[in-house]
Amino acid sequence: MTTLRSVLASTVAAALIVAAALSVARARVEAQPRGKAVYDKHCSECHGADGKGDGPAAAYVVPRPRDFSGGKYKIRSTDTGSVPTDEDLVRSIRQGLYATSMPAWDRILSDADIQDVVAYIKGMSPQFSTPPKPVALGAGTPSAPASIDRGHQVYDKLQCGKCHGNDGRGSGAVTTDFQDDKGQPLPAADLTEPWTFRGGATSRDIYLRFRTGMAGTPMPSFAEAASDAEMWDLANYIVSMARKPVWSMTAQEIADLYAKQDAEAKANPVKRGAHLVNTLACATCHSPIDDQKRVLPGMRLAGGVRFRIEPYGEFVTGNLTSDKATGLGNWSDDEIKRVITRGTLRDGTRLLPFPMDYGSYSTMTPDDLNAIVAFLRTVPPVSNKVPPPKYKWLIPYLWGKFNLLILGGDPPMTIFSGNAGTKGGAQ
């Protein structure tokens, strides 16, 4: 009788487990189309149609968008090598990742939308077939002067300053210019600017970054090098390093901060120039795109984007890389600056004042112009010969003008995909 009962019970239990598993699987499948709809509308511009982190915007933003197919996540509450929990993913989507182009979606997407898109994203990586291993989070250590002092000692012991600097902002560091495991630039975090900490700036957030490491970056887990108490003290110390953000400063403090930033820019023109080229959207016109609007691999800043501007003609953007034959390699500093500020090429050809807005660029300080030139000298050469401008013949040009100015047609500017230049072989 007992055997029969136990057999029955185990059968029922097995049936229940199978049914539960099936319903979970079905719920997952049902979530997919909804998750895909949310994903395609809100996520694909950066993360790409199939989640490889290669959407149209990917080539322009620093840091690059996450590649979901790899299953590697920086912001986790799980052991090193483990995938994040659903709550981790939901939190990153709801709050965004600070100081990246990932915004907070909590005001736009409903909780159900976020759950659906999390399920969809998890489906992109086989790593999620292994369940996450959340770390056991203790009560922590409340911030107090003694804990902060101990944290300072831990900072020295773990040699955090080798990457982040002794002052948390790079002073005395071996280098702060790192790359992630995809070879993309990833500078060490400035620890005095907590509003830039991707995963949040509470002592708990910071503790988790030491404890779990940041997958895909040079930031390792310190779970074995330091005790739990040490990591909490260190977190309290990092919180105490914060400086005032500009929106809380007095006029004098702002003047001091800006003077310091200007001095740093002048001391490191290549870094300043890279920042300017990144933020002035040079790459948007000077990098050819494919028919999915993604920058062609290896062609960033190599020119070759064809513009049709009515009624003037067709123009192809220049190669800004340091290639000697087809890029800026043989241009003098003054020649480069003359194009940027006066729209005049080496042979004296005048450019239209748009879309190459040299009028605006000429309002830059001489230091910033020098910085841009210094950076462009460091862009690896790509051989891509761009054709000269094709201005319209006189009569079509005058007719286009008549249409534009007298008949009131819109001045259309059309940008074409593909590389209109001739890509050369190896130099």
Partner 1 sequence: MKRFLKWALLVVVVLVVCALGAFLYFIPPFFTTAPEDFGKAMAAAAPGVDGITDPAERAIAARGRYIVMTTGCIGCHATNGPQGPDLTKYLAGGGIKSVASQATYVSRNLTPDKETGLGRRSDDEVKRVMRSGVFPDGHVVAVTSMPWGAFSNWSEEDRHAVLVYLRHLPAIHHPTPEPVPGNAITASGAFEQDHAWHDYGTAEAKPIR
Which one among 1, 142, 224, 247 touches partner 1, defined by CB under 8 A?
A: 247
The answer to whether 140 contacts partner 1 (rule: CB under 8 A) is no
Q: Report if residue 417 touches partner 1, rule: CB under 8 A.
A: yes
Tell me whether strands 306-309 and 313-316 are parallel, antiparallel or unpaired. Answer: antiparallel
Q: Which of 1, 410, 425, 426 binds partner 1 (CB under 8 A)?
A: 410
**What is the nearest approach in angstroms of partner 1 to the Cβ of residue 337?**
12
Site for partner 1 in 167-226 (CB under 8 A): 195-196
Cα torsion 94, 99, 102, 103: sign? positive
Which position among 18, 24, 174, 246 is part of the footprint of partner 1 (CB under 8 A)? 246
- Is 423 a residue that touches partner 1 (CB under 8 A)? yes
For every residue of the chain, which 3-state class applies, written as one string?
CHHHHHHHHHHHHHHHHHHHHHHHHHHHHHHHHHHHHHHHHHCHHHHCCCCCCCCCCCCCCCCCCCCHHHCCCCCCCECCCCCCCHHHHHHHHHHCCCCCCCCCCCCCCCHHHHHHHHHHHHCCCHHHHCCCCECCCCCCCCCCHHHHHHHHHHHHHCCCHHHHCCCCCCCCCCCCEEECCCCCEEECCCCCCHHHCCCCCCHHHHHHHHHHCCCCCCCCCCCCCCCHHHHHHHHHHHHHCCCCCHHHCCHHHHHHHHHHHHHHHHHCHHHHHHHHHHHCCHHHHHCCECCCCCECCCCCCCCCCEEEECCCEEEECCCCCCCCCCCCCCCCHHHHHHHHHHCECCCCCECCCCCCCHHHHCCCCHHHHHHHHHHHCCCCCCCEECCCCEECCHHHHHHHHHHHHCCCCCCCEEECCCCCCEECCCC
Query: Using CB under 8 A, which of 364, 381, 385, 392 touches partner 1?
Result: 364
Site residues (CB under 8 A) for partner 1, limited to 269-308: 275, 278-284, 289-291, 293, 296, 306, 308
- Do you find a cis peptide bond into 145, omega within 30 degrees of 0? no
Among 49, 341, 345, 389, binds partner 1 (CB under 8 A): 341
CB of 422 to partner 1, least distance (A): 7
Total binding residues for partner 1 by CB under 8 A? 83
- For residue 75, the minimal CB distance to partner 1 (Å) is 17
Which residues 251-270 are close enough to bind partner 1 by CB under 8 A? Answer: 251, 254-255, 258
**Which of the residues 30 through 69 are near partner 1 (CB under 8 A)?**
41-42, 45-46, 56-57, 59-62
Q: Which is nearer to partner 1, 2 or 363 (CB)?
A: 363
**Among 120, 237, 361, 375, which residue sits at the site for partner 1 (rule: CB under 8 A)?**
361
Provide the minimum distance between the beta carbon of 381 and partner 1 in the complex, in angstroms, as a whole number: 17
Q: Which is nearer to partner 1, 57 or 231 (CB)?
A: 57
CB 385: neighbour CB atoms within 10 A?
16
Cross-strand pairs, 313: 309, 391
Choice from 142, 363, 393, 426 touching partner 1 (CB under 8 A): 363
CB nearer to partner 1: pick between 30 and 253:
253
Whose structure tokens read 């003609």?
Answer: 313
Q: Which of residues 150-169 bind partner 1 (CB under 8 A)?
A: none
Tell me how far, at minimum, the Cβ of 31 lies from partner 1, in Å. Answer: 19
CB of 254 to partner 1, least distance (A): 4
CB of residue 415 to partner 1, shortest distance in Å: 5
CB of 300 to partner 1, least distance (A): 12
Return the amino acid letter for 62.
V
Neighbour tally for 175: CB within 10 Å: 10
Q: In terms of CB distance, is 33 or 387 closer to partner 1? A: 387
Q: Does 249 bind partner 1 (CB under 8 A)?
A: yes
Stretch that binds partner 1, among 74-82, 198-206, 219-227, 346-354 (CB under 8 A): 346-354
Determine, following the binding rule CB under 8 A, whether residue 100 of this chain makes contact with partner 1: yes
Q: For partner 1, which is the closer residue by CB, 204 or 293?
A: 293
Please identify which residue in 37, 85, 98, 240 interacts with partner 1, judged by CB under 8 A. Answer: 98
